[in-house]
A and B are shown apart, each in its own frame.
Chain A
Amino acid sequence: MTLDALNLMPVLPEIILLTLACAILLIDVFMREGQRDVTYGLTQLALVVTSVAVLSGMGMDQRLSFEGSVINDGLSDVMKLFILLITAMAFALSRDYMKERGIQKGEYYLLGLFGVLGMMVMVSSYSLLLIYLGLELMSLAMYAMVAVHRDDIRASEAAMKYFVLGALASGLLLYGMSMLYGVTGSLDIPAIRQAVMAGTASDTALLFAAVFIVAGLVFKVGAAPFHMWLPDVYDGAPTGVTLYLSAAPKIAALAIILRLLGDAMIGMLPDWQTLLIVFAVASLFVGNVVAIAQTSFKRMLAYSTISHVGFILLGVLAGTKAGFASALFYTITYALMTVGGFGLIAYLASKGLEADKLDDLKGLNDRSPWMAFILLILMFSMAGIPFTLGFWAKLAVLQAVVEIDMVWLAVYAVVMSVIGAFYYLRALKMAYFDKPIVKGLQPRSWDARMVLNVNGLAILALGLYPTSLIALCATVFNAG
Chain B
Amino acid sequence: MFADWPLLSLLVWLPIISGIVVLMVGDRSPQAVRRLSLFGSLLVFLISLLLVTGFDSTTASMQFVERLPWISTFHIEYFLGVDGISMPLIILTTFTTVLVVLAGWDVIEEKVSQYMAAFLIMEGMMIGTFAALDAIQFYFFFEGMLIPMYLVIGIWGGPRRVYATLKFFLYTFLGSVFMLVALIYMYFQSGSFSVLDMHALPLNMTEQTLIFLAFLIAFAVKIPMWPVHTWLPDAHVEAPTGGSVILAAIMLKIGGYGFMRFSLPITPDASHALDWMIIFMSLVAIVYIGFVALAQSDMKKLVAYSSISHMGFVTLGMFVVFMIMANPVGEGGAALALEGAMIQMVSHGFISAAMFLAIGVMYDRLHSREISAYGGVASSMPMFAAFVVLFAMANVGLPGTSGFVGEFMVILASYKANFWIAFIAALTLIIGAAYTLWMVKRVIFGEIRHQEVARMPDLNGREFVIMASLAFFVLLVGVWPDPLAHVMHASIDNLVHHIAQSKL
Interface residues of A (CB under 8 A from B): 365, 369, 376, 380, 385-387, 391-392, 395-396, 398-399, 402-403, 407, 410-411, 414-415, 417-418, 421-422, 425-426, 428-429, 432-433, 465-467, 470-471, 474, 480
Partner of B71, one of A365, A407, A467: A467
Mark out the residues of chain B between 129 and 144 whose CB falls within 8 Å of any chain A CB in the assembled complex.
136, 139-141, 143-144
Q: Report if B177 contacts A (CB, 8 A).
A: yes
Contact A429 B177 (CB under 8 A): no
Interface string of B160-181 (1 = CB under 8 A from A): 0110011001100110011011
Q: List 19 A-B pairs, Cβ < 8 Å.
A: A365-B111, A365-B155, A385-B143, A385-B173, A387-B147, A391-B140, A392-B71, A395-B136, A398-B180, A414-B177, A418-B174, A421-B169, A421-B170, A422-B166, A425-B170, A429-B154, A433-B155, A466-B71, A470-B74
Contacts of B174 in A (CB 8 A): 415, 418
Q: How far is the CA of A376 from the CA of B169 in the complex (A)?
A: 15
Contact A418 B71 (CB under 8 A): no
Q: Report if B114 contacts A (CB, 8 A).
A: yes
Contacts of A421 in B (CB 8 A): 169-170, 173
Q: Measured between C-beta atoms, what is the minimum distance from A10 to chain B in Å? A: 29
Contact B181 A411 (CB under 8 A): yes
Q: Report if B476 contacts A (CB, 8 A).
A: no
Q: Measured between C-beta atoms, what is the minimum distance from A274 to chain B in Å? A: 22
Contact B166 A474 (CB under 8 A): no
Interface size class of B (residues with CB under 8 A): 35 or more
Residue among B74, B140, B146, B162 with the highest chain A CB neighbour number at 10 A: B74
Residue among B26, B136, B150, B181 with the highest chain A CB neighbour number at 10 A: B181
Q: How far is the CA of A385 from the CA of B70 in the complex (A)?
A: 18
Contact B71 A387 (CB under 8 A): no
Contact A403 B188 (CB under 8 A): yes
Contacts of B173 in A (CB 8 A): 385, 418, 421
Q: How far is the CA of A392 from the CA of B184 in the complex (A)?
A: 13
Q: Measured between C-beta atoms, what is the minimum distance from B174 to chain A in Å? A: 5
Contact B170 A422 (CB under 8 A): yes
Contacts of B73 in A (CB 8 A): 467, 470-471, 474, 480
Q: How far is the CA of A169 from the CA of B146 in the complex (A)?
A: 42
Partner of B147, one of A369, A385, A467, A470: A385
- On whether A470 and B170 interact (CB within 8 A), knowing A386-B141, A411-B178, the answer reads no
Q: Measured between C-beta atoms, what is the minimum distance from B135 to chain A in Å? A: 11
Contact B181 A386 (CB under 8 A): no
Contact A432 B154 (CB under 8 A): yes
Partner of A470, one of B71, B140, B144, B185: B71
Contact B166 A432 (CB under 8 A): no
Q: Measured between C-beta atoms, what is the minimum distance from A119 to chain B in Å? A: 26
Contacts of B114 in A (CB 8 A): 365, 369
Q: What is the predominant secondary structure among interface residues of chain B facing chain A? A: helix
Contacts of A407 in B (CB 8 A): 181, 185
Q: Report if B43 contacts A (CB, 8 A).
A: no
Please name the residue on chain B nearest to A366 by beta carbon: B111
Contacts of B74 in A (CB 8 A): 395-396, 399, 470, 480
Q: How far is the CA of A390 from the CA of B146 in the complex (A)?
A: 15
Q: Report if B356 contacts A (CB, 8 A).
A: no
Mark out the residues of chain B between 101 and 159 whose CB falls within 8 Å of any chain A CB in the assembled complex.
111, 114, 136, 139-141, 143-144, 146-147, 150-151, 154-155
Q: How far is the CA of A428 from the CA of B149 in the complex (A)?
A: 13
Partner of B184, one of A399, A426, A432: A399
Q: Report if B460 contacts A (CB, 8 A).
A: no
Please name the residue on chain A nearest to B157 by beta carbon: A433
Q: 6 smallest A-B Cβ distances: which pairs?
A: A414-B177, A480-B73, A386-B140, A386-B144, A433-B154, A387-B144
Partner of B166, one of A411, A429, A470: A429
Q: Measured between C-beta atoms, what is the minimum distance from B214 to chain A in Å? A: 9
- On whether A380 and B154 interact (CB within 8 A), knowing A402-B184, A414-B177, A467-B72, the answer reads no
Contact A402 B140 (CB under 8 A): no
Residue among B71, B155, B187 with the highest chain A CB neighbour number at 10 A: B71
Contact A402 B154 (CB under 8 A): no
Q: Measured between C-beta atoms, what is the minimum distance from B148 to chain A in Å? A: 10
Contact B155 A432 (CB under 8 A): yes
Q: Measured between C-beta atoms, what is the minimum distance from B288 to chain A in Å? A: 28
Q: How far is the CA of A305 from the CA of B70 in the complex (A)?
A: 29
Q: How far is the CA of A471 from the CA of B111 in the complex (A)?
A: 40
Contact A417 B72 (CB under 8 A): no
- On whether A433 and B170 interact (CB within 8 A), knowing A386-B139, A386-B140, A403-B188, the answer reads no
Partner of A418, one of B147, B161, B170: B170
Q: Measured between C-beta atoms, what is the minimum distance from A382 to chain B in Å? A: 13
Q: Measured between C-beta atoms, what is the minimum distance from A475 to chain B in Å? A: 9
Contacts of B146 in A (CB 8 A): 385
Contact A385 B184 (CB under 8 A): no
Contacts of A385 in B (CB 8 A): 143-144, 146-147, 173
Contact B70 A467 (CB under 8 A): yes
Q: Measured between C-beta atoms, what is the minimum distance from A423 to chain B in Å? A: 11
Q: Measured between C-beta atoms, what is the minimum distance from B361 to chain A in Å? A: 26
Please name the residue on chain A nearest to B70 by beta carbon: A467
- On whether A433 and B161 interact (CB within 8 A), knowing A380-B147, A386-B143, the answer reads yes
Please name the residue on chain A nearest to B142 by beta carbon: A386
Contacts of A410 in B (CB 8 A): 181, 184
Contacts of A391 in B (CB 8 A): 140, 143
Contact B71 A402 (CB under 8 A): no
Q: How far is the CA of A467 from the CA of B140 in the complex (A)?
A: 15
Q: How far is the CA of A131 from the CA of B163 in the complex (A)?
A: 50
Q: Measured between C-beta atoms, what is the minimum distance from A415 to chain B in Å? A: 7
Contacts of A433 in B (CB 8 A): 154-155, 161-162, 165
Contact B71 A415 (CB under 8 A): no
Please name the residue on chain B nearest to A418 by beta carbon: B174
Contacts of B150 in A (CB 8 A): 425, 428
Contacts of B162 in A (CB 8 A): 429, 433
Q: Measured between C-beta atoms, what is the minimum distance from A462 to chain B in Å? A: 11
Contacts of A376 in B (CB 8 A): 147
Q: How far is the CA of A72 from the CA of B151 in the complex (A)?
A: 47
Contacts of A474 in B (CB 8 A): 73
Partner of A471, one of B72, B177, B180: B72
Q: Measured between C-beta atoms, what is the minimum distance from A280 to chain B in Å? A: 16
Q: How far is the CA of A402 from the CA of B181 in the complex (A)?
A: 8
